[in-house]
Amino acid sequence: MPSEPARRPIADRPHPTGYRKVGENRYREQVGFYYDEIVVGTVFEHRPGRTVTEMDNVLMSMLSMNASPLHIDGAYAAQGRWGRPLVSSLVTLSIIGGMTARSTSGRAIANLGWDRIRLSHPVYVGDTLYAQSEVTSKRLSTSRPGEGIVSCRTTGIKATGEVVLTFDRSFLVPTQETSIDDRTGY
């Protein structure tokens, strides 16, 4: 019977990715990346996915004051082109945008802008959405030392493979040198 491979002592093992070692055999989960850690061309596949519910659509439509019957009135929508209510594009953008925040801008100081938002296919209640983001550029800020501007291209995709949304987004991220982790318990 083959013997088990020798195990390295805990102190010699690398800590898990996505965590910061804060004590003996103790790690703190990390959110996002510092400017220095971001590499142009990196693609993040955001998980978990999210199945859109009727509550998502109605609640977010009302919160955003989008009372279009196309989104909230099933009898009205049944007579229209789609034959059923469409999920509001504001709901789709919110879900996809939120899905990306943990990995792309989890450490962001500020969102700087959303550009070229395109809605290429309808989303319906019951559709499951996934997202991916590619880092398209980064540069150190000229007016804010210790911070950098990062841009990503995000794609929202149904579980069926249909692309439903694309957008470009830029945000301000601190460098590791200006980290506030120790002062804030992160």
User: In the chain, how long is the greatest CA-to-CA distance?
Assistant: 70
pLDDT 10s digits, 18-52: 788 888 888 888 888 999 999 999 999 999 999 99
Ramachandran quadrant class, 41 (left: phi over 0; alpha: psi -120 to 50; beta: rest): left
Which amino acid would we find at residue 140?
Answer: L
Domain boundaries, the chain: 39-184
Contact assessment for residue 125 and residue 173, using Cβ atoms and an 8 Å cutoff: no
Cα 20 to Cα 38: distance, rounded to the nearest angstrom? 17
pLDDT for position 87: 97
> For the ranges 18-22, 51-55, 88-92, 159-163, which has the lowest average pLDDT?
18-22
Model confidence pLDDT, tens digit, residues 119-149 = 999 999 999 999 999 999 999 999 999 999 9
Among the four given CATH numbers 3.40.50.11900, 3.40.1350.10, 3.10.129.10, 3.40.50.800, the one describing domain 39-184: 3.10.129.10
Six token digits for residue 16: 């898990």
List Cα–Cα distances, 163 to 81, 102, 155, in angstroms.
20, 21, 7
* 44 DSSP β-pair partners: 133
Burial zone of 152 (CB within 10 Å; 0-12 exposed, 13-18 middle, 19+ buried): buried
**Angle 106-107-109 from CA coordinates, rounded to 5°:** 120
Beta strands in the chain (DSSP E): 19-23, 26-29, 43-51, 110-119, 128-140, 147-158, 163-174
In the block, tokens 């019957």 appear at 69
pLDDT at 186: 84
Confidence tier at 72 by pLDDT (50, 70, 90): very high
pLDDT at 104 over 70: yes
